[in-house]
Structure 1
Amino acid sequence: MRARLPLDGLAARFSVLLAAALIAANVIAAAVLYVDRAGQHSAARFEREVERIVSLVPAIEAAPPARRVQAARAASTRLTRVSVDPA
């Protein structure tokens, strides 16, 4: 008598194919979400940096002219460099 393999029937093969397709779809969806979230994080970081610089302008303008360069230097980060031109 011949022993049946677990994947011998059509239904079993279809089940394995369906499981593989579901796993592949979930992996692709996770990758898309990861890439999209990274892009959103980068955009949010850029917006925060723009808001920070916009809020710094009145503070630098209110500073005495001799201290404006120091204020700009202190406001610089590794992402942005703030400089003041003599006016």
Structure 2
Amino acid sequence: MRRLTPTGDASRPVEFAQAAQPVPAPDEVLIKVEAFSPNRGETFLLERPEPGLQPGKDVAGLVVQAAADGSGPPAGSRVVGHPPMGGWAEYAA
């Protein structure tokens, strides 16, 4: 899948890269991200990105895999979420 990753270059702070699709924990759903919203804090992190930074805390999309433990919305549900990271991608857990 594609994900936006920080470059550390002020003239081009992010670029698309290939990454593995996230594997949700038993109490998480897998979302096909349809929209995300960069927030101010994340833009500041792009100025001097830490190794492994995966921005993306505000997402909206469609549940494509329900949580294994039965919690949360079923597949096919439209959702908004606030994952700890990784939302600037095609899929998020």
Q: What TM-score do you get using the length of structure 1 for normalisation?
A: 0.20
Higher relative contact order (CA 8 A, sep 6+): 2
Which structure features the higher share of strand residues? Answer: 2
Structure number with greater Rg is: 1
